[in-house]
Chains A and B, each alone.
Chain A
Amino acid sequence: MSDHQRHDFSEELIDLSADYATGQADADQLNELARMDPDASARAAFDAVAAEIDAAYAELDPVDMPEGLEDRLFAAIPSQPIKAASPELKLTDAPEPAPSSGGVSWVPWFVAAASVAIAAIAILRPQPAPPAQTPSMAQLRDQLIEQVEPASLLRYSWTPTQDPAVVGEVGGELIWDEATDQGYMTISGLEVNDPSEFQYQLWIFDATRPLGELPQHGDAFGGLLTQRPIDGGVFDITDTGEVVIPIDAKLMVQQGVAFAVTVERPGGVVVSDRSRVPLLAIPG
């Protein structure tokens, strides 16, 4: 091995990158990494090594897949061409570095793999003001409404509950395009949240998913709310007036038939106990 390879990264950067690759880096370390590794090359290199090791063990000692999972994966294949992950997340405010001369880089793969983590880093870093030409969420919502086939666009008004997060007259609607798995929420009348205390989370109820996993919700809406819904993304309310929020479905939605906004701890949850559901969007 060459001396160049051995001393690619400083000791401190190796320590931080190893912690990052094993999921052990805390917020301060992530900030420090963003500063020390602006092109993400160290994080990408250690992420790749961890992936190679993990995949090697999985190959030698595989875990049996549960029955039916492969069929569910097949069923989730989208009928439309897949949108690239967007928006493209930048690691720094600087332009993306050119590939190293004569070689290849793990960095694009790292960007593909780490969009969530990069987003977390980005939250911790000062954000530049958006360019003046950036369309607003309301414009993007309107574009979607104009572009999609009306037949594939679901439009539901909000049904508020007695939850204390409902602080005014609730207005707005939820739109969801079944063909492209895109949608927006327009909301007014919800409490402005402090993201360090709680956040809102959207859940999408898909008629094709099995019922009966959360029986505490009984037979309401034909038993639909007993199912395990799809995470539609965590969001904040910044104004009790009208705000527009994009829906970020974590799974392909086959047949979205109801939507619920819950109040959750910062960062959201994997399974909501649905103890606080300020808004529902359900067929009228």
Chain B
Amino acid sequence: MTATDQPAPLLQRVADGDQDAMRTLIKRYSGLVWSLVRRKIRSQSDAEDLVQEIFADVWKSAHRYDAGVGSEDTFVAMITRRRIIDQIRRIGRTPTQVTLEAPNAQTACSQTQDNEQLDTTSNAGRVMGVLRTLRPERRQTIELSIVHGLSHSQIAESTGMPLGTVKAHLRRGLDEVRTLLASQLPAESKEVSR
């Protein structure tokens, strides 16, 4: 297949109004969107409505997708997270059921730590590889905030860390991940991190 025979990126076809592409988009990303939403929105019916709103937003915003910037997964996840944050603001934050036995409780990241089969060329493998290089308390704070949607004060309460420490771990940790992910990109793409 030559370069000119390559099918257009899925999101570009969605932007062009291709209904088959929209169905493919749903099949490919509904699991991701649902997983992101359900971890943070407790009401199932709210979560289901939000997923529908998110896909409507993705369809409307698909024309902004540029395959040279990053993956479709990241594009969809960015839109999804913004909508979740907006929804949490509207309904008021409710604590997620996260039980921590100790500040260094095992996390999804640490559970995969010994998994040598994790594909380090995949997005997930690349990100997990970077997270594993962080100090455990930074990694834990990032997971509680970004994956479970806990507020700073909820993380402080769950882990026993002072509030200021939680904030510092989260901010420094995220910046560290940003820098490390950027350092793995090809030289011509490093502006992506900005």
**Which A residues lie at the B interface, using CB under 8 A?**
1-2, 5-6, 8, 14-15, 18-19, 21-24, 41, 45-63, 65-66, 69-70, 72-74, 76-85, 100, 102-106, 108-114, 116-117, 213, 228, 250-252, 267-271
Contact = CB atoms under 8 A, between A and B. Distances in A.
A78 B26 CA distance: 13
Interface string B15-34: 11101001100110011101
B123 A56 contact: yes
A57 to B, nearest CB: 5
Given A22-B145, A228-B49, 12 more contacts: A19-B171, A49-B177, A55-B77, A56-B126, A59-B73, A63-B35, A77-B23, A105-B194, A112-B79, A116-B83, A228-B45, A250-B53
A51 B192 CA distance: 14
Closest CB pairs A-B (n = 4): A103-B191, A81-B17, A112-B61, A23-B85
Contacts of B193: 5, 8, 45
B75 A69 contact: no
Given A52-B123, A54-B146, A251-B49, A117 B192 contact: no
B63 to A, nearest CB: 6
A51 B81 contact: yes
B69 interface: yes
Contacts of B179: 1, 5-6
A105 B127 CA distance: 19
Contact of A49 (B27, B60, B112, B178): B178
Q: How large is the interface on B (under 10, 10 to 19, 20 to 34, 35 or more residues)?
A: 35 or more
A112 B193 CA distance: 17
A102 B48 CA distance: 41
Contacts of B27: 70
Contacts of B57: 85, 112
26 contacts: A1-B179, A18-B171, A21-B174, A48-B192, A51-B77, A51-B78, A53-B142, A54-B77, A55-B127, A63-B39, A66-B34, A72-B48, A77-B22, A79-B19, A83-B60, A104-B66, A104-B191, A105-B69, A105-B194, A109-B74, A112-B79, A113-B78, A117-B85, A251-B52, A267-B89, A270-B87
A269 B43 CA distance: 14
A45 to B, nearest CB: 6
B147 A57 contact: yes
B46 interface: yes
A45 B147 contact: no
A113 B182 contact: no
A44 to B, nearest CB: 8
A5 B69 contact: no
A124 to B, nearest CB: 14
Q: Max chain A CB contacts within 10 Å: which of B27, B38, B191? A: B191
A105 B177 CA distance: 18
A60 to B, nearest CB: 6
Q: Max chain A CB contacts within 10 Å: which of B22, B51, B81, B112? A: B81
B81 A72 contact: no
A77 B20 CA distance: 10
Q: Max chain B CB contacts within 10 Å: which of A2, A41, A112? A: A112
A85 B174 CA distance: 30
A76 B60 contact: no
B146 A213 contact: no
B90 A268 contact: yes
Nearest to A39: B194
B137 interface: no
Contact of B26 (A55, A74, A252): A74
A100 B194 contact: yes
A116 to B, nearest CB: 5
B191 A60 contact: no
Nearest to A72: B52
A82 B58 CA distance: 10
B17 A22 contact: no
B180 A1 contact: yes
B100 interface: no
Contacts of B51: 69, 73
A52 B191 CA distance: 16
Nearest to B48: A69
B181 interface: yes
Contact of A70 (B30, B38, B60, B81): B30
B175 interface: yes
